[in-house]
Amino acid sequence: MQQAADRLGVALKILHAVSEAELEAAFASLNGLGVGGLVVYGDPFFDSVRQKIVGLAARYAMPAIYAWRDYVISGGLMSYGSSLEDSYRRAATYVGRILKGENPRDLPIEQPAKFELVINLKTAKSLGLSLPPALLARADEIIE
């Protein structure tokens, strides 16, 4: 992400939070840092406090993109990431192959194969954002 920011001439601020109190402090600091948007990456802790993160983004009127669609369903602005449903299905295939006697070390390592862009138009409207038609046309799912 830092390399992409450098190429685009965008200042990237990286904030860390490993507790709900640190999340509160991180969000409270965003406006003072001049942050115009937020990228929340896939992390087990973040997923466990998804509602809190989405709520803080709304309270601080901070446009955010998340790794998984569950955040958008919970009221987040947008997500772009691997389809967890597809990944779980593929994992089940691995389990089936192992239960049929295949050795796990002989199975190929796979990367996620399906990625999805999900947009919540209600959240965009509440943030005063109008999203480009080209972006909306590329979305796999639009929540109204």
The verdict on residue 88 lying in a domain is no
Comparing CA positions, the residue from 50, 33, 32 lying closest to residue 41 is 50
Side chain identity, residue 111: Q
**pLDDT at residue 31, rounded to an integer:** 85
Encode pLDDT of 84-136 as tens digits: 889 899 999 999 999 999 999 999 988 888 999 999 999 999 999 999 999 99
The verdict on residue 51 lying in a domain is yes
Give how many domains the chain has, as a whole number: 1
Strand-pair category, 64-66 with 141-143: unpaired
The verdict on residue 36 lying in a domain is yes
Encode pLDDT of 39-49 as tens digits: 999 899 999 99
The verdict on residue 131 lying in a domain is yes
Residue 121, domain extent:
2-81+116-143
Comparing CA positions, the residue from 66, 62, 70 lying closest to residue 31 is 62
The verdict on residue 109 lying in a domain is no
Mean pLDDT of the chain: 94
CATH number of the domain that residue 67 is part of: 3.40.50.2300
